[in-house]
Structure 1
Amino acid sequence: MTDQHSATVVAPAAGDPAPAPGAPLLRVEDLEVVLPSGATTGTVIDKVSFAVDAGRTTGLIGESGSGKTMSAMSIVGLLPPEAVTSGRVTWRSEDLLTAAPRRLRQVRGREIGVIFQDPLAALNPIQTVGRQIGEILRRGGMARQQVRVRVLELLDRVGIPDPDQRIDVYPHELSGGMRQRVMIAMALAGEPQLIIADEPTTALDVTTQARILRLLADLREQEHLALLLVSHDLRVMAHVADDVVVMYAGRVAERGPAREVLERPRHPYTRALANNVPAVSTRSAIAEPLQGAPANPFERPAGCAFHPRCPLAQDRCRTEVPVLREVEPGRFSACHRAEEVLP
């Protein structure tokens, strides 16, 4: 791994038992992130709230620039500390936003694993994949004679063929799918309870995407993991996620059970995303292109950020920011006209 990532990962240690499946494991409440933009600053993540339950997959979806990755990376302290200005990130019963740097280094890897979007950029090009995975284990105190055996087990666990040969190769000698499997092996090395996967299939062909998603789903079930999956691809979410959080311009537009949100959206943005993917949409066999460009979080329009692209926009939408509200049991929407979205 790169120095930034490898230095923050430690090996597992005995800890509290994981919550029962379906129980809250992680809660993000009113998260706010402020970043510089030229001579000024902007609130790029604005009061974002969601939860990840034990044994379930929560998806963060939206177009590029919606704030998905930034929200996910803030959970494990991979943003500058001064950027996160308010909110809570409760891991079990502990607020990670107020945790000391030493404690965050313990959480990353041992309790929460991270799979980065571009494995070729995240992996160290001058170290073999076996050495990079082994570094995580050595940092946790594993005896050197045990490290290679454990690395081989991890490579085999994520479906890399001939692990005894692949353990000594460099990242550039592997295909994109194999590199992503190495990243998954590194995330598993700490035996975490939660894995954050940031666009893990973006650069892969369709067949390899399916294999990686199947691997993540199998690992979640067999290792009793929770998964926070970041993706712009609704087809990915339709196949993998239990719950979804739809983000737009740094805010939550809608959240709820994945199947219900994708099949019966209660926000015009979610409906537009679903109708843009025929395999997801239940209302049309023909894709309907999403009109307009995504809003810039640094320059959000007044009122609802989606209103310049919304066919339901009214005067109220142009002046009043909608509150995320429960529109039916377990379903939340930040739309003034959520009850009218269903056809």
Structure 2
Amino acid sequence: MTLLDVRELSVLLPARSGQAVPVVEGVSFEVRSGSVTGLIGESGSGKTMTAMAVLGLLPEEASCSGELWWAGEDMLAATPARRRAVRGHEISMIFQDPLAALNPSQTIGRQVSEILRRGGASRSEALASAQALLERVGVPDPGRRARQYPHQLSGGLRQRAMIALALAGEPRLLLADEPTTALDVTVQSRVLRLLARLREESGLAMLFVSHDLRVIAHVADEVVVMYAGRVAESGPAREVFRAPHHPYTRALLASVPSVRAKSVPAEPLPGTPANPFDRPPGCPFHPRCPIARQVCTQERPEVRSLTTGRRTACHFAKEGS
């Protein structure tokens, strides 16, 4: 069952000139119940802005269009009160930097129990449930940790506390914005295993935002590759990584060092990412594309279906794959 259906989502922000510029444009994807959809791309590709639009946390100066269907209801057409009711309960978010996301002046237990109190639980019931949640996400000695402040916890424990906070409202969809970027490899692996276990236990669906292809390949069922605020390619993660159709996806994969074939060097992407406020004409990737032709500099490719479940925005999709 489709929980989240994003259709032609666009987000506009004012540029220095005062003109509204699309930083996310025409993005479409689905998140099904119990599945993980990965949003991947370089910094500035629009991944986080897309996730913020889903949760209704865009900056005040931003404008949003398209459709955001959540369990059959268009959230862009919903009232602010309805969106607040969904946020934190039906849909929750794990932020990239838990130290910045958590309130430094409140204990971990109080922050986790606050959502439970809003659901009608008494103070003692909420605190007990908060400690149980901390234990569920692998926080050792949850009673003591619940009395501590965010700065007193390690990075890994703060991220687990952030996950407990996101789970407090018993959401059906979890938005994870680069949840392992600030962690070392060992802690990163533990957090990924924790998220996989939570998914298996409760059928939790996830929209997983990351620039790390290896993380997305490990966790995602479907993948959406974004470039300059637009979808470059999408489809089942295993198929996209096995046989990418878009040259940007191939370039991303080539830039990842191989563990098995150490003799094959990684190939960094040439050039710099396109600026959403100053996109080149035609295909935004053409200045960096090894197969770009004249049409690529003049005409923007539309996202089109190639095979069942596979979509790409390239005039010459599959060439070189």
2:295 counterpart SS class: helix
Q: Residue 6 of structure 1 aligns with which residue? A: none
1:50 aligns with 2:49: no
| 1:327 CA drift (Å) | 1.1
Structure-2-length-normalised TM-score: 0.97
Q: 1:122 to 1:230 in 2, by over 3 A?
A: same
Q: Which runs of 4+ in 1 moved over 4 A?
A: 280-284
1:269 counterpart SS class: helix
* C-alpha separation in 2, matches of 1:82 and 1:35: 7
Q: Residue 275 of structure 2 aligns with which residue? A: 296
Q: Residue 322 of structure 1 aligns with which residue? A: 301
* C-alpha separation in 1, matches of 2:276 and 2:123: 48
Q: Residue 244 of structure 2 aligns with which residue? A: 265
CA contact (8 A) 2:11 2:24 kept: yes
Q: Residue 338 of structure 1 aligns with which residue? A: 317
Q: Residue 100 of structure 1 aligns with which residue? A: 79
Q: Deviations over 1:96-130 (max 9, x none)?
A: 01111111111011100111111000111111000
1:211 aligns with 2:190: yes
Q: Residue 72 of structure 1 aligns with which residue? A: 51
The one-letter amino acid of 1:166's match is R
1:113 counterpart SS class: strand
Q: Residue 238 of structure 1 aligns with which residue? A: 217
Q: 1:33 aligns with which of 3, 8, 11?
A: 11
| 1:82 CA drift (Å) | 6.0
Q: 1:322 to 1:58 in 2, by over 3 A?
A: same
Q: 1:86 to 1:280 in 2, by over 3 A?
A: farther
Q: Deviations over 1:270-314 (max 9, x none)?
A: 000001013489998321111110000111100000000000000
* C-alpha separation in 2, matches of 1:104 and 1:283: 49
Q: Residue 168 of structure 1 aligns with which residue? A: 147
CA contact (8 A) 2:258 2:265 kept: no
1:255 counterpart SS class: strand
* C-alpha separation in 1, matches of 2:219 and 2:294: 38
Unmatched 5+ stretches in structure 1: 1-22
Q: CA RMSD in A?
A: 1.5
The one-letter amino acid of 2:191's match is I
Identity of aligned residues (%): 62
Q: Residue 178 of structure 1 aligns with which residue? A: 157
CA contact (8 A) 1:59 1:245 kept: yes
Stretch of structure 1 that moved more, 133-142 or 287-296: 133-142
Stretch of structure 1 that moved more, 131-140 or 193-202: 131-140
* C-alpha separation in 2, matches of 1:87 and 1:279: 39
Stretch of structure 1 that moved more, 161-170 or 34-43: 34-43
* C-alpha separation in 2, matches of 1:284 and 1:247: 29
1:118 aligns with 2:97: yes
CA contact (8 A) 1:130 1:151 kept: yes
Unmatched 5+ stretches in structure 2: none
Q: 1:283 to 1:323 in 2, by over 3 A?
A: farther
The one-letter amino acid of 1:35's match is L
| 1:224 CA drift (Å) | 0.8
| 1:196 CA drift (Å) | 0.2
2:318 counterpart SS class: helix
CA contact (8 A) 1:307 1:313 kept: yes
Q: 1:148 aligns with which of 106, 111, 127?
A: 127
1:128 aligns with 2:107: yes
- The count of aligned residue pairs is 320
* C-alpha separation in 2, matches of 1:280 and 1:193: 35
CA contact (8 A) 1:238 1:280 kept: no
* C-alpha separation in 2, matches of 1:118 and 1:73: 15
Structure-1-length-normalised TM-score: 0.91
* C-alpha separation in 1, matches of 2:249 and 2:60: 32
